[in-house]
Structure formats: structure tokens, C-alpha cells
Amino acid sequence: MNSNTVIPVLIAGGSGSRLWPVSRQSYPKQFVDLLGDGDSLYRAALRRRSSLEIDCPWIVVGSEDHRFILAQQAAETGVALDSIILEPEGRNTAPAIALAALRALEICSDAKLFIQTADHLIKDHSQLQQSFQRAVDADSSVCLFGIEPTRPETGFGYLKIDATSEHSLNVTSFVEKPTQDRAQEYLDSGCYLWNSGMFLIDAHVYLDLLAKYEPQVMSAVEFAWRGKTVDRDFLRVDPDKFRESPSISVDYAVMERMDRPQAVRYSGDWDDLGSWDAVFNHLSRDDQGNVSSGNTFLSECKETHVYSDGRVTAGLGLEDVCIVDTPDALLVARTSHLQDVKFMVQQLQSAGRLEGTSHKKVYRPWGSYETLALAGNFQVKQIEVSPGASLSLQLHHHRAEHWVVVSGSALVEVSDSQTLLSVNESIYIPIGEKHRLTNPGKIPVKLIEVQSGQYLGEDDIVRFDDEYGRS
């Protein structure tokens, strides 16, 4: 296999519900600085391409809801992208990879895909490069990456392997997440590797296998691809056709049905940060086994994990407890129950609680806003607009707004007039008046918005012009 035909693919969807309340559907874990090192998993994943000596730029597959986060964080890395393919609705990894394969074959008729996911922590790039080169040299149509297990992990799936040599491995079976005792047996046997979800595969082979085993998925993806459109940095597929695809993982759809696929062993630093257990494993512990991140204080605690995003969070006399504190939601759980956080999130969503899906701070392509107060017929927000960015030209049928600039300068258009506002200056926007705010400066604009009216929902927006394609 020629590595020049390899196209890196990053699967960047998913909601990371087991890392609630820090990770939520509106801003999931792959975009968050979970370890406090100033980087997100998504940005770190994009930068891995340089260490793999792959010439082709990334194909990124992610959610329509996260399109501007995908583009913005990619721009922050300076890493080249071929395209960002947007899923109108999550359908798991099998359809997502099929979209990437179809795009890759437009680039190169004999393309191979190196599939990675955006929520993996990989620090040892040299080991990854060696495993990648072994997979290329194996010249197999499909080659999985198995991780040398370092602990009896119950949160991962496993590959059972038949090792014909140190580097030539046949996968004899896929194993679901085991019990603690069974995971220990796997670790002791030396015949099992963690299923990383990374693999190298011929694009034609993948599509042929998907058509063979899951024809309904392949048909829906093909029709969705035929209806694709290009919008700025994004490649959109036909939403109605794509939603006809069953939701299924690539393992269930293809990998587990193959006859003894090959694998390579990766022994470097790797983890899937899928739960708070996994995150705290990468943070330093004190003599009592406690882990703390952020504005925290612990006294007389053992094996206690605390994460605070803001206010002081203190623990006293606790043992085997996890506390995750954010501005609008607090998680307190036994460490033995952390794998079940996602079920609690499902209950919050079923109850209609916005905290189950959205943060207090909401990101938009132009910046962000955060709700400071909400009661009855008024709402107060702090809004931040990035340099050079602009809100859409819009109006509201049910609310009026007052804007007070607290940092930077804002050019505000109301009806046919324009006003340049500086710090401590304000403007009133009546119900039904077209308006827009632009940041003409080189620093972010921060303003306080006071809304008043009988209905304050985000859907009370009529857009007339929008540089981000939302009108």
C-alpha cells in the first residue's frame, strides 16, 4: 500500500453524555479542554496528521449543530482540511464513515481511509506513527488498531487476537464491554487488545462491505450524497435521505461480520476519555488518592474526584465520591456509578430540562452568549462578539432589547440608522424593528442585553440577511 493514497478521516460527532455536565449536546467533550491544558481533543487530533507523514488533508465528519465549532477550532490549529461533511442527524459511525469514503474516492480513485475519532487522547505520536506504518506495510484491505491494555477496563470493547507474529495479528472475535473480573482475565491472558475504533481501510472495500451487510444504510447514504451541496467550509448531504439510514456503528455493521480482519498493536499512550473515571486517570493524585481540577478544596477525603468550572467547590470527609460543578448544573455521584451518568442525562432530557442538552454559555458562529438572569417577562444576557464578526439582520415579534456595551466598540444598525457605541453607551431596539450588531474592531465586543416581552424564546428570530447562511 502506498501511504500517499491514505486520506485521514476524523469522526467528530457524538454528545459525550457520560461527561455531563461539562459535556453536553450543544458543546460536547471533543471541543472542551477537559484536562486543563488549554487544548481540546478535537484540536489535538487534527494536529496528529503531521506526525503520521500523511500528505492528504483531513476529511472531518461532524454534526450540523456543531458546524461552526468544527470550523473555528480547525482554523485555530492552522491544519488543512479537505472538507467538513455535516450530518443532518446523528446515525452512528457506519453511515458517517460511508460519507467520508464517498468523498475520498472523489479525491483519489484508490483511496485508503485512516479512521480516527476526535475524543481520543493520544500523546505518544511516535508510537502511533510506527503502528500506522505497520498497517500500511501490511497491505491489507482492512487493518484495525488494537491498544495494549494497561488496566482491567470495563468501559471499552476488546479484540481477541491470534498473533502469528509480533506485528501480524488476526482478530478472531469482538468482545463487548466486560465485567471487572472478565476484564482482569483479558488483561492476564495477553490475548486481548482494546478496540480503539481506529482502522485503515480501502474506501471501495468499505462501501462494498456496507452494501453487502447493511444495504439500507448504503442506499440511504448514496442517495444523500447525490443531493450534496457545498456551503462555505461545509459539505451538506440531503437531510431527508440521510435520515432514512438506520443508526448503527461500524463494528456492528461491518467489522464484526468480516472473516478474521487483521490488526496492528499500539503500545503507546492512549485513552478514550468517555467518562469522568478516564479523565481523572490523567490528572495528578494526592497521597489519599484524591484528584481535583479547577477551583477546589478538599479536607479529610479519600479517593474523591472534584472538578469545578468557576466557584469554590469544597469536599469534607468524603470517600469514593465524584463531584463535577458547573455554573448551572452539579453532579454528585459514587465513583462506581460514573459509567451510568448517560442514563441520568436521558432522564433530564425526557423531563424537558434544558440542562440535559445545553450549557448556560451558548456558542454561535459570531461568538457566544450567556444567560445571567431569566424570570417572567425579562431575560439578561452577556453577549460576546468576535472581532470582525456580525450578528444577522433580524427582528423579534415578541420582545424588545436594550444593549449596553461594556467592552470594545459595536456598530449597531436599527432600521435605517447606524450608531457606533463605545463602553458605557447603550441603545434600545423596539419590538418589530430590524437590527444588527457588528464588531468593527480588533478585540471582542462585550455587551449586556436586557430582553423584555411576553415571549423570550430563541425561536423568536426572523432573519433577513446572515453571513453564516442561517437566513
Is residue 435 within 8 A of residue 392, CB to CB? The reply is no
Cα–Cα nearest to 384, from 442, 448, 463, 428: 448
Name the β-bridge partners of 382.
Answer: 370, 448
The full set of domain ranges for the chain reads: 3-272, 287-350, 361-465
Cα 427 to chain centroid, rounded: 37
Cα–Cα nearest to 163, from 171, 154, 155, 175: 171
Name the β-bridge partners of 437.
Answer: 412
Which has more confidence, 69 or 124?
69
Please identify which residue in the block is written with the cell numbers 482554523. Answer: 75
Question: What's the one-letter identity of residue 440?
Answer: P
* Dist. CA 156–CA 271, nearest whole Å: 10
* Dist. CA 124–CA 44, nearest whole Å: 12
Identify the H or E element spanning 184. Answer: helix 180-189
Share of the chain above pLDDT 70, in %: 98
* Dist. CA 439–CA 147, nearest whole Å: 48
Mean pLDDT along residues 101-127: 94
Please write the tens of the pLDDT for every residue from 394-437: 999 999 999 999 999 999 999 989 999 999 999 999 999 999 99
Mean pLDDT along residues 451-460: 93
Its pTM stands at: 0.89
CATH code of the domain occupying 361-465: 2.60.120.10
Length of the chain: 471
Mean pLDDT along residues 318-331: 96
Model confidence at 15, in pLDDT bands (50, 70, 90)? confident
Mean pLDDT along residues 80-90: 95
Mean pLDDT along residues 319-339: 95
Fold (topology level) of 3-272: Spore Coat Polysaccharide Biosynthesis Protein SpsA; Chain A (3.90.550)
C-alpha cell at 43: 484540536
Please write the tens of the pLDDT for every residue from 136-154: 998 889 999 999 999 999 8
Please write the tens of the pLDDT for every residue from 20-68: 999 999 999 999 999 988 899 999 999 998 888 899 999 999 999 999 9
* Dist. CA 127–CA 135, nearest whole Å: 12
* Dist. CA 158–CA 176, nearest whole Å: 6
Residue 123, pLDDT score: 87
pLDDT at 167 over 90: no
Model confidence at 260, in pLDDT bands (50, 70, 90)? confident
Residue 155, pLDDT score: 85
pLDDT at 2 over 80: no
- What does DSSP say about strands 262-266 and 270-272: parallel, antiparallel, or unpaired? unpaired
- Residue 17 makes CB contacts below 8 A (sequence gap 6+) with 23, 24, 25, 341, 342, 345, 346
C-alpha cell at 68: 461552526
Is residue 429 within 8 A of residue 403, CB to CB? The reply is yes
Strands (DSSP E) along 273-317, which ranges? 291-299, 305-316
